[in-house]
Structure 1
Amino acid sequence: MTNTSVDLAKIFRFHVEASAPSGTADLLPALLGPFRDASRVRFAYPLFLGPEPPCLSLFDTLQEAAQAAFGDGDRGRILKDNLPRVERFVRQSLASGQVPAGELLAKAGESLATELGLDEANDGKLRDDYAAMMAHIAPNSQLLGYGPDAAHYLLIWAAQKQVSAARQTFRTHAEVLIRRLRDILKVDSHLSADMRGADALKGAMGKGEQFLNAGTLSNIIGKSRGSKPLDAERHQRIDTILKRLETWLATNEPILAVVHGEGEAAEWAKGLDVTAHGDPCAQAIVRFDEGAARLAKAIGAFHVGQLEVNNSFNAERHANLLNNYDWRAFSKEELQLLTPVIAIESGERLAGPGLAALSQLICSGRPIQVVVKVQPLNLSDEAFQLQLGYLGISFRQAFVQQSSAARPNHLQEGFLTALRGTRAGLHVLCAETDGTPLDPWLFAGAALEGRAHPFFRYDPEAGSSWAERLVFDGNPQPETDWPIHEMVEGAINGSGTCLPFTFADFAMLDPGLAGHYLVLDETPETVIPIVDWLGLGQGEALRHVPYVWAMNANNEMQKVAVSRAMAFACRDHLAFWQTLQELAGINNQYANAAAESARQAVLEEAEAEKAALVATHTEEIERIRNEEADEAMGRLTAVLLEQDLGALVAGPSTRAAPAATPAAPADAAAEAEPDAAPEPEAEEDDMAFDEPYIDSMLCTSCNDCLNLNSLLFVYDDNKQAVIGDVSAGTFEELVRAAEACPSRCIHPGAPQNAGESNLDALVERAKPFN
């Protein structure tokens, strides 16, 4: 057996068994090799969380503050030029978590001044400029570093902004209603009978009672003859309304409630209403119902109170509002008053026993947000085939987003949309992998690039069609199977090369999957790029081994064979990606078939219209030809009757032939011989048939003759061809033009130049047209 055969057998054995030896741990996907050191890579974090969405990167925030403080001129130039130093200090100080922005930025300013070491004057100016810039940083803002809990912090921030604004609006309206209801009770107290009694009058007169007899005054005033006091039932109802509204306003309802699994730490949820439970989705339903019941009493009281102040309460129609109001009757605005309940789940639990509770939660319609992190790299039979985001879409009634904290704007937009909605929300986020050699932010971005964790949002409230409900934004090169990128500078033998980034490339970032990759010293013909392997049929695929490009620690490009299990996982992720593409209207076979059908219909219609135009044009040419033939025959008949052969060419203006005379005697004829008929004139008339001419009325202005010789053939005022300068062309050009003319209206006549070559053949060719 040759060495090549041995190597090929080794490659196929590895491909089937995924038994690569150790030594590939330092490999990175070729496209990511230059980013092994990510210290100089700028990305969105740290995030600046201000009073209002959207969140911004710290650098953008600093630039906006500096622009507001100093404008476009040279003011603050030293500070403007050194804003990247401020950003670098904050990033190094805030690896993860959330801190007050003012405190950390103040430390960054001190660090900047120390690092620059300016003279006293410039140092003072720098500090003044920094303070001026900080005056444009919103107070009570936060800085968020990228870490495992970044998505949770973003959700808390979005919920706080949403709920706080809604509750403040409701508080304002409720306080106004409370005052109006109290005014009603106050008026009623003055209308009651007791206010006109002796004891009530005595208390109301104060020191004046020594001058008046309260009993006598009460008898004089008598009972009220105007408005009647409230009946006891209405008075009790208003008292209940006031009590419920004031109780809810006085209760410090939590801004957010979190339910997570038992034994799972939730450092990011400190200060919130946190519950640990073995089944977070089931417990989240309980927690939601408790808060909804409290709010329903306040909302029901608010509606009945509005009816009371407008004197519109009808016992038969509105009796149940006060005691039987339910969250299902809440308006969209009223739902925003509820404490958002967040269930923190894991992909493993929802793939198993937690799926039933998730289904119950979503189908119940309760606007609870379920946040689940899934591992983008998992080749187990149970894990990699389950797509929770796709499963969420199948419920049809839930808001579903698949996103990542690595793209905070995309994630934040999904959170805000879900919190503003009236349905349950399922948020499938990309989890981190321990031990990856790449920066976590780059790892999450690679999951997106490798189609391991594609982005999408499904919002049933956005419309009735898929095009309105499904949003496919945020995915790189969404029209292709795999993103294709050019290698950056710095790679040996790699710069300028364009490579696809597949799931197999992304999976190389997990050290636990190193056994699925084998470095190749040689590349047999049966070892092919994985993109080509994915396009093979099942039988052909079994006879080939796929490979991807990798880069080692020395920045050297290497071909790496891929195991069959990894290749199958790559195919599975590609199939899911293509399903999402079709749902989003990209490469959709139904849409393509409809477009092709419409294109064929347009082509057939155009062909039919073209055929109709050609037929009409042919009929018109035939009609004109027949009319011209009839006219020519008429002229010929007139000429023959008049014995004037010249009319065949010149028409009615040609000189008429002399009339016939009686035969003269022979002598007279002999004497008259010198005066015989003028043969030269007859010869000139005969030559008139040899001159070229064009039946201009038949000309279709096709330009064929003018393209051949624009001096020999010219257009008249009607843009129809006539003979121009005969001497500027040849008899051959006349014959060729006659043969090419679609309406056969060119008549070459006889050769004008007897010395022209090949005349005999040209005359024969001209006969059909003369």
Structure 2
Amino acid sequence: MAALSDENKGEVKVSGATQAEEDPRLPLVEELDADALQDSINLLRRFHLGEPGASASTQSPDQTYLPLLLNAFRNLRRFRYEYPLLLLPDTSGELLARPLDEFLQGVLPEAEGSARMLKDNITWLETYIRDQISGQDFSTLARGLAVGAGEALVMQLGLKESDQEVLRADLDELVDNIPQGSHFLPYTHNVALHLLQHTIRHRTQWQREQMMRRIGRAVRGLQQLVEVEAEKTSDGKIIGEGSKFFDSSFMANVVENKSSGTLLMSSERMERIQATLDILTSFELDQSILHLVVRPRSFSIGDAGSINIVESADPCTKALELYDLVAGKLSRVFASLRTAELDVAGAYDSRFHDSWFESFSAAAFSDDERQMISTVVALETAEHATDDCMQSFSTVLASGKPVQILLNIDPHTNPGRESDFLGGLRMELAYLGIGHRHAVINQMSAAKYETLLSGFSAALGSHQACLHLIDTGFSDPQPLHPWIMATAALESRAHPSIKFDPTSTVDTEEMTFAGNPSPEDDWVMNTAIYRDEKGESVEQEVEFTFADYCLLKPDLLDHFRVIPDGCDSKDIVSVGACLNASADEQDRIIPFIWSVDGNGLIQKLVVSRQLLFSCRDRLDFWQTVQSLSGVKNAFVDEAVKKAREEEQLRAASEREELVREYEETIEQARTESANEVMGRLTNALMELDLTLDSPVLTESPRQAEAPAVTPVVEEVESEEVSAPEPAAEEDDDEISFDEPWIDSIFCTTCDDCLNLNKQMFVYNDNRQAIIADTKAGTFSQLVEAAELCPARCIHPGKPLDSSEGGLEDLIKRAEPFN
């Protein structure tokens, strides 16, 4: 698959088989005779339509069958993907985490020949670290683990002492490049919680430290007020560093009435200050940055760290109560803090402030004060959220309080219908959450750590209730690595990435589905490589559908049947083609998916009608998400079409105006040329001596310089004919549409073209794309940008460089956009 193939560079396979041996292959088969073929097709059609007798008479695939596009991952002992992550400390800036392999490659010296031994063995080092933390449900200090990996590498290589010193020096430099306090996090079933905890710490650590400093300053200010007040009624003793230079008893005799001219603090204010000091000095920062509410005996984690785990039969209700409790305690603290700051500044007015602080609550917190509230998370199941706890689930989402609900989703199931996974239309919890309007909704795959971190960060910054729907890929039994399972769910539209943030200040980002592969297509297409009956390598584009994903679930294998060898008919079509067929055609055709059995043989599998309906349901939901996000939206398409037609009419009008001006210019040039010719002819005739039988020109100085009459006329006439041609060529250049251009008014600011070439494509003042320099890129990039553009507003024109390779194919690809 696309995402998997991008990540899977550098994998290590168990067997030592060659690539040709590992590629799946078509079996050698004999064609069936007409009667046997028709009987097989009829039997498969009856299975597809749900006839019990046909199900018993056909072969069901076993658990060794995998979708064709996932067969390459069948025998992988280890492979490279986005995990483990290096979790960076709180002081590292905006970047929260980096994949291990990306980090190791980034810290290697670039100079040629430097750290040669370390560079040659960096993959071994990476593999060692992966193996050490594999299966752990907690993060490990990065520096300590890197030191241990380095020592293991030295022992593994068995180098002589001088080489060991060189390698150890390079390893020490690598370890020094690991930020202090960093951790390695493996891919685990609780990876979402670990990353949520990391995001909370990264977002709040600095604010929490600043808030404690603010409280400290307020306490010192109040204590100074109390000390000063105490001195007003003292025996005149001098305090402070300069007191040793004064004789207090002498000063007491000089100042007989010490209270004269001194205004004592009111008892009411003193009592308020003392009460404020008591609250602020007794305040201790909650060391648990995350309160996790779970069902009894339903949750375990390798290292809870700063997570406070609370058990409850109704996690959503308990989470709201816990949030109110935590926020209520901080309300007293922050009310006292603000009171203290007003008292220190002498600005407290009991007429206004007393009633204000009596009713002070979390709703009045500033952003910095909200960061001090420990995050409260309710860990629920999709089954309970759609059944007995639906009311409390909805109450949290509608509360407006920043309580997080985290649900681990199994994408192939229908929440609330455990006995019938594929029964009816699927309950889409993301859609249910969006219906609450003010809640932030994140449907994410744990396989994409960047999507997780950005979703968590947006949710925490919104100060609204949040629903996180996470697929980690862990299940029992586990046919493939959980990360591959989670990626397969994302690519099959079983669990698309969705982000709904009603607090976003950018209208276009309120509903987004960034992170989904091939966002404009119904299904993701990938290239499958296999061997045909002759053993020759074949590449074929294959779709990856929800049915392919369901083949990975043992509970759903009964919805597939193996198509017998030699059974080939035009009535047997792919799932995607079947879904695109008309209703009449669907009653005739039989949908199938490509699979590979445990022996590496490619087999077609018929899909049951019930599973086909589920594929239709998932596709409908996917298309709904597309529409809500502005992709394939009928209203947007109609508006774009209308605007493009208006633009084309305007361009045609401008072209007609240019042609009219050009014709007027030509006509004017002809008129002026004719007048000039007649003028010259008249002058020539006036100079003739008409008294002679044969008129001749009279001698004059002008005549000697001027050319003969006839040549002048011919030259002028020639100019009349040829003069307009350069003007026409110049005008053709002006109105040429061969150069690339962009309908910037339709640009959706998707960044796709800028990601291809930031020198060729730039944004104007309205953050809409324009072409800054056509020479800064290639025609291939222009065509690719046009194909990627969701608004279809990029027009590649024709190639400016005739030496660029593959122009014939590129020009054909560019035609639909010009």
Give me the TM-score of the superposition, normalised by structure 1. Answer: 0.76
1:516-595 map, 5 Å: 516-520=559-563, 521=565, 522-595=567-640
Are residues 257 and 268 of structure 1, via their aligned partners in 2, closer, same or farther at CA, if it must alter by over 3 Å? Answer: farther
- Equivalent of residue 449 in structure 1, options 464, 467, 491: 491
Counterpart residue number, 2:128: 89
Count of aligned positions: 647
Distance 1:619 1:136 in 2: 73
- Equivalent of residue 264 in structure 1, options 276, 298, 302: 298
Task: Give the Å deviation of 1:441.
Answer: 0.9
1:232-251 map, 5 Å: 232-249=267-284
1:482-521 map, 5 Å: 482-488=523-529, 495-520=538-563, 521=565
Counterpart residue number, 2:45: 12
Distance 2:662 2:685 in 1: 29
Counterpart code for 2:448: R
Counterpart residue number, 1:741: none
1:285-304 map, 5 Å: 285-304=320-339
Q: Deviations over 1:560-619 (max 9, x none)?
A: 221112211111111211222222222222121111112222232344444556666677
1:47 corresponds to 2:88: no
Larger radius of gyration: 1
Are residues 135 and 598 of structure 1, via their aligned partners in 2, closer, same or farther at CA, if it must alter by over 3 Å? Answer: closer
Distance 1:497 1:555 in 2: 17
1:342-741 map, 5 Å: 342-378=377-413, 380=421, 385-431=426-472, 432-463=474-505, 465=507, 467-488=508-529, 495-520=538-563, 521=565, 522-611=567-656, 697=720, 701=724
Task: Give the Å deviation of 1:558.
Answer: 2.5
Greater shift, 229-238 or 487-496, is seen at: 487-496
1:185 corresponds to 2:208: no
Distance 2:303 2:153 in 1: 33
Q: Percent identity?
A: 29
Counterpart code for 2:297: G
Are residues 622 and 343 of structure 1, via their aligned partners in 2, closer, same or farther at CA, if it must alter by over 3 Å? Answer: same
RMSD: 3.6
Q: Deviations over 1:299-331 (max 9, x none)?
A: 111111111111011112111344321001111
1:119 corresponds to 2:119: no
Q: Deviations over 1:670-698 (max 9, x none)?
A: xxxxxxxxxxxxxxxxxx9xx99968647
Counterpart code for 1:11: L
Counterpart residue number, 2:65: 27
Are residues 190 and 589 of structure 1, via their aligned partners in 2, closer, same or farther at CA, if it must alter by over 3 Å? Answer: same
1:110 corresponds to 2:151: yes
Greater shift, 346-355 or 18-27, is seen at: 18-27
Are residues 121 and 608 of structure 1, via their aligned partners in 2, closer, same or farther at CA, if it must alter by over 3 Å? Answer: closer
Contact 1:244 1:298 in 2 (8 A): yes
Are residues 247 and 133 of structure 1, via their aligned partners in 2, closer, same or farther at CA, if it must alter by over 3 Å? Answer: same
Counterpart residue number, 1:77: 116
Distance 2:275 2:662 in 1: 91
Long gaps (5+) in structure 1: 202-210, 639-646, 660-687, 707-770
- Equivalent of residue 343 in structure 2, options 302, 308, 331: 308
1:154 corresponds to 2:195: yes
Distance 1:626 1:78 in 2: 85
Counterpart code for 1:261: R
Q: Deviations over 1:607-654 (max 9, x none)?
A: 444455666667788899999999999999x9xxxxxxxx9xx97789
Distance 1:697 1:523 in 2: 74
Are residues 700 and 630 of structure 1, via their aligned partners in 2, closer, same or farther at CA, if it must alter by over 3 Å? Answer: closer
Contact 1:100 1:140 in 2 (8 A): no
Matched residue of 1:266: which SS?
Answer: coil
Distance 2:530 2:464 in 1: 48
Are residues 610 and 654 of structure 1, via their aligned partners in 2, closer, same or farther at CA, if it must alter by over 3 Å? Answer: farther
Greater shift, 310-319 or 390-399, is seen at: 390-399
Distance 1:61 1:598 in 2: 47
Give me the TM-score of the superposition, normalised by structure 2. Answer: 0.72
Contact 2:422 2:610 in 1 (8 A): no
Task: Give the Å deviation of 1:427.
Answer: 1.0
Task: Give the Å deviation of 1:48.
Answer: 1.6
Distance 1:95 1:54 in 2: 21
Q: Deviations over 1:251-279 (max 9, x none)?
A: 54522100012331232563532111122
Q: Deviations over 1:367-387 (max 9, x none)?
A: 111111111112635686122
Task: Give the Å deviation of 1:343.
Answer: 0.9
Are residues 25 and 705 of structure 1, via their aligned partners in 2, closer, same or farther at CA, if it must alter by over 3 Å? Answer: closer
Contact 1:24 1:517 in 2 (8 A): no
Distance 1:463 1:212 in 2: 68
Matched residue of 1:462: which SS?
Answer: coil
Contact 2:45 2:590 in 1 (8 A): yes
Task: Give the Å deviation of 1:296.
Answer: 0.7
Matched residue of 1:345: which SS?
Answer: strand
Matched residue of 2:181: which SS?
Answer: coil
Task: Give the Å deviation of 1:298.
Answer: 0.7
Greater shift, 134-143 or 179-188, is seen at: 134-143
Contact 1:493 1:556 in 2 (8 A): no
Contact 2:440 2:459 in 1 (8 A): yes
Matched residue of 2:283: which SS?
Answer: helix
Are residues 384 and 158 of structure 1, via their aligned partners in 2, closer, same or farther at CA, if it must alter by over 3 Å? Answer: farther
Matched residue of 1:188: which SS?
Answer: helix
Counterpart code for 2:606: A
Greater shift, 135-144 or 616-625, is seen at: 616-625
Long gaps (5+) in structure 2: 1-33, 239-247, 415-420, 694-710, 730-818
Are residues 243 and 489 of structure 1, via their aligned partners in 2, closer, same or farther at CA, if it must alter by over 3 Å? Answer: farther
Contact 1:436 1:511 in 2 (8 A): no
Matched residue of 1:337: which SS?
Answer: coil
